[in-house]
Amino acid sequence: MGFVMDGLDADAYDREYSDRALLRRIITYFRPQARPMLLVAIAIFAGALTDTAVPILISRGIDLVVANPATQIMVLLVIAILVLSSVSWGLNFLRQWLSAVAIGNVTLQIREDAFNATMGHDLSFFDDQPTGKLVSRVSSDTDGFAETVSLTMNLISQVMLVVLMGCVLLVINWQLGLITIAMAPFVAAISLVFRRIARETSLHSRRIMAQVNAHIEESISGIAVAKVFRQEKAVHDDFVRINRQAYRVNFRQGIVLNTFFPVFNATAGIGTAIVVYFGGLNTASGAMSVGDWYLFIQALMFFWFPLTQIASFWSQFQNGLSASERVFGLIDAEPRVVQTGDAPADDLQGGFEFRDVRFSYQPTETVLPDFSLTIPPGESVALVGHTGSGKTSIVRLVARFYEFQEGQLLVDGRDIRAFNLPSYRRQIGIVPQSPFLFSGTVGENIRYGRPDAKEADVLRAVEHIAGGNWLADLPNGLDTDVGERGGRLSMGQRQLVALARVMLHDPAVFILDEATASVDPFTEIQIQDGVEAIMRDRTSIVIAHRLYTVQRADRILVLDSGRILEEGTHEMLLAAGGHYAELYDTYFRHQSLEYVESVIH
């Protein structure tokens, strides 16, 4: 069956926790729920008492009536049972309801923790984590965690019942009681055997479900590609493979969990048979009353039922534990970007200094071997160079999306690690190549960085981006629905919205990964005007693909393999006739009027 487990390895950040560590961790989530949990415990205990009392009452009643068939006794008996069971029902209501409250709150808490942990990771974490897998941990595995809560509460009540019923059995007839209780170790042994298998199979089951989730997320997000290339079949074949594997993995888990109760019921049957035999002998010899015998057999059922629940607890609990392990693994994964200080960055000037910085995404491929660069506050810098020259890495380090390995990165003369990260990032406005918009309206997306901004501020920001005429082209202006990932807007419109977002945000530093997709010249000019408006009065770092942009930059840096080859203004570099001139010829030149003219005529 080895192939069933193919590709079910743990993720890089997964870790193994001892059961004890897991339990301790789980308990910390219960602590805030101490009050409802305490009430639940009381309700469980009182409920167990009343539940136990009812069969005792019935058996005593039978004995009494057999001895003295008086109506009065019967009436009292019935009333007593009715009162007791009403109380028992009320207690059960309290228990169920408060449990739901406690479980609901605990699940909410761990979901939020898992969510915050996910949001707190730096971008290197997301590079090799498919969205679907992460989603699976935050939404589904946390549900599995909740299972541990309900199972545990159930366990408490079942243990109480078993102890109570054990006492009752001993009181009625200690010999029979001992025989019955002697069965318990067998039950424990069986449950321990199941426990090991259950943990493993349920962990595998969760992993495969995360993969199914990831596959669906990816293929549905990219469905247009499958359509365009008419490759639905290939995508479907892939899915069928994963879905079948999921079936096989879940089958293993299902078999384990479904073997449990029948085995226990059979074991319980053995116990019942023994009690009927010995109990009958005792009753026949007059050592026991008929009522006692009845009571004993009834009590036996009350004893077995919770006992099987307790026994099955371990194997079912494993499912919750493996879910918890995955959730805690996510929460405990250590971010590589770690701040050493907490300095506010509200009055950031925007001066940067890279000192001998070495940076790589993976240990094998160094992107920036030894990078040094100083950007004074207010300067606009254009980065140009081939793909893989390190342009994107430089801005990612400035945005503190990734951690570098060696050297220093100073911001306003202080270590970048010394700042409070949210405060620092608030001072940085970024427009990526293909801007991501959240589902909602254009207005909401512009407000994204400043949710409390007034409508007038939003309109002013829009105004600053190319006079704001583009807003009128949208069907409902600011209220235009952008669709998931901004899919209902064109590329150019998404760019403009992203620029307005930064304009409203008004950061000290502006980072632009210039869109390489060429939009129509008219929109292009709107975008360039917008970019220019933002670049004014702040430090700007632009990964440039536009002749217009490089011409406007205070300084152009020509990069290759993570090194600065040349720097200077457009005119200087062109005149120097070096790498930039070469780049210009092959890349920027065709954007120039001269080239355009030469093509036309």
Partner 1 sequence: MNNREFTPESEYTYDRSSVWRWLVSHAMRYPMHVVVGTLFRAGVVVAAVQVPKLMGDAFDAVAQANAEASVLLGFGLAILGISVLRGALQLLANYTAEIVALRMERDVRDELYVNLLGKSQTYHGQQRVGDIMARATNDVKQLNYMVNPGLLLLSEWLVNMVAPIAAIGIFLSVDLLPIPVLFLILFLIALRGYLRRLTPVAGALRAQFGALNATLTESIAGIEVVKSNAQEEQEHNRFRVKAEDYRDLFVKQGKIQALYLPLLMFSFCLALGLAHSLYLYTNGALTIGQVITFMGFLAMLRFPTFVSIFAFSLVKLGTAGAERILAILNAETEIDENRAGIEQRIEGEVVFDNVSFAYHGANTLKNISFQAKPGETIAIVGQTGSGKSTLTRLINRIYEVSDGRVLIDGVDVRVWSMESLRSQIATIDQDVFLFSRTLAENIAFGVRRPVNREEIEAVAKQAQAHDFIMSFKDGYDTVVGERGVTLSGGQRQRIAIARAFLADPRILVLDDSTSAIDSATEDQIQRALRNILHGRTTFLITHRLSQIRWADRILVLRGGELEDQGTHDELMARSPAYRNIFAHRDERYTAALPATLVGE
Q: Of residues 54-93, which lie at the interface with partner 1 (CB under 8 A)?
A: 54-55, 58, 61-62, 65-66, 69, 74-75, 77-78, 81-82, 84-86, 88-89, 92-93
Contact with partner 1 (CB under 8 A): which of 12, 167, 193, 225? 225
Query: Smaller CB distance to partner 1: residue 70 or 192?
Result: 70
Torsion of CA 224, 229, 232, 238, to 10 degrees: -100
Taking the C-alpha atoms of residue 450 and residue 500, their distance in angstroms, rounded to an integer, is 12
Give the three-class secondary structure for 307. Answer: helix
Taking the C-alpha atoms of residue 358 and residue 178, their distance in angstroms, rounded to an integer, is 73
Site for partner 1 in 343-362 (CB under 8 A): 361
Query: Smaller CB distance to partner 1: residue 23 or 567?
Result: 567
Work out how close the CB of 21 gets to partner 1 at its nearest, in angstroms, rounded to a whole number.
26
Contact 287, 172 (CB under 8 A): no
336 touches partner 1 (CB under 8 A): no
175 touches partner 1 (CB under 8 A): no
Query: Residue 288 gets which letter from DSSP?
Result: S
186 touches partner 1 (CB under 8 A): no
Ranges of beta strands (E only) in 255-351 are none
Taking the C-alpha atoms of residue 153 and residue 30, their distance in angstroms, rounded to an integer, is 11
441 touches partner 1 (CB under 8 A): no
H-run or E-run covering 407: strand 406-411
Work out how close the CB of 116 gets to partner 1 at its nearest, in angstroms, rounded to a whole number.
6
Stretch that binds partner 1, among 172-180, 191-199, 265-273, 411-419 (CB under 8 A): 265-273
Contact 22, 15 (CB under 8 A): no
Site for partner 1 in 288-317 (CB under 8 A): 290, 293-294, 297-298, 301, 305
Residue type, 576: A
Query: Smaller CB distance to partner 1: residue 17 or 457?
Result: 457
Stretch that binds partner 1, among 4-12, 186-194, 307-315, 590-598 (CB under 8 A): 590-598
Work out how close the CB of 152 gets to partner 1 at its nearest, in angstroms, rounded to a whole number.
16
Contacts with 149 (C-beta within 8 Å, 6 or more apart), sequence order: 26, 30, 102, 103, 106, 107, 320
Query: Smaller CB distance to partner 1: residue 31 or 230?
Result: 230
Taking the C-alpha atoms of residue 19 and residue 121, their distance in angstroms, rounded to an integer, is 26
Question: What are the strands of the beta sheet with 414-415, ordered from one edge?
Answer: 365-375, 352-362, 406-411, 414-415
Query: Smaller CB distance to partner 1: residue 18 or 71?
Result: 71
**CA–CA distance from 423 to each of 189, 357, 400, 504, 572 (Å)?**
56, 23, 12, 16, 38
213 touches partner 1 (CB under 8 A): yes
365 touches partner 1 (CB under 8 A): yes
Residue bearing tokens 């793909």: 387
Phi/psi at 342 (5° precision): -135, 30
Taking the C-alpha atoms of residue 325 and residue 256, their distance in angstroms, rounded to an integer, is 20
Query: Smaller CB distance to partner 1: residue 18 or 364?
Result: 364
1 touches partner 1 (CB under 8 A): no
Closest CA to 99 of 173, 168, 30: 30
Work out how close the CB of 128 gets to partner 1 at its nearest, in angstroms, rounded to a whole number.
6
Contact with partner 1 (CB under 8 A): which of 8, 49, 56, 101? 101
Taking the C-alpha atoms of residue 98 and residue 102, their distance in angstroms, rounded to an integer, is 6
Work out how close the CB of 19 gets to partner 1 at its nearest, in angstroms, rounded to a whole number.
25
Query: Smaller CB distance to partner 1: residue 374 or 516?
Result: 516
Chain mean position to CA 93: 33
Give the three-class secondary structure for 147. Answer: helix
478 touches partner 1 (CB under 8 A): no
Ranges of beta strands (E only) in 449-529 are 509-513
Query: Smaller CB distance to partner 1: residue 74 or 188?
Result: 74
374 touches partner 1 (CB under 8 A): no
Reduce the secondary structure of 344-368 to three states and give it as a string: CCCCCCCCEEEEEEEEEEECCEEEE
Site for partner 1 in 549-578 (CB under 8 A): 551, 570-571, 574
Stretch that binds partner 1, among 17-25, 219-227, 307-315, 460-468 (CB under 8 A): 219-227
Taking the C-alpha atoms of residue 469 and residue 462, their distance in angstroms, rounded to an integer, is 9
* Total residues in contact with partner 1, by rule CB under 8 A: 196
Query: Smaller CB distance to partner 1: residue 131 or 374?
Result: 131
Work out how close the CB of 15 gets to partner 1 at its nearest, in angstroms, rounded to a whole number.
21
Two tokens, residue 430: 């970024």
Site for partner 1 in 226-255 (CB under 8 A): 226-236, 239-240, 243-244, 246-247, 250-251, 254-255
CB atoms within 10 A of CB 110: 25
Two tokens, residue 535: 């670049």
41 touches partner 1 (CB under 8 A): no
Site for partner 1 in 487-506 (CB under 8 A): 487-493, 496, 501, 505
Site for partner 1 in 106-135 (CB under 8 A): 107-108, 111-112, 115-116, 118-120, 123, 126-132, 134-135
Taking the C-alpha atoms of residue 73 and residue 234, their distance in angstroms, rounded to an integer, is 78
Work out how close the CB of 195 gets to partner 1 at its nearest, in angstroms, rounded to a whole number.
19
Site for partner 1 in 387-426 (CB under 8 A): 387-388, 392, 399, 401, 421-426
Query: Smaller CB distance to partner 1: residue 50 or 318?
Result: 50
485 touches partner 1 (CB under 8 A): yes
140 touches partner 1 (CB under 8 A): yes
Query: Smaller CB distance to partner 1: residue 355 or 481?
Result: 481
Two tokens, residue 257: 């969990």
Stretch that binds partner 1, among 18-26, 159-167, 277-285, 404-412 (CB under 8 A): 277-285
**CA–CA distance from 179 to each of 166, 192, 274, 278, 306 (Å)?**
11, 22, 8, 10, 18
Query: Smaller CB distance to partner 1: residue 26 or 421?
Result: 421
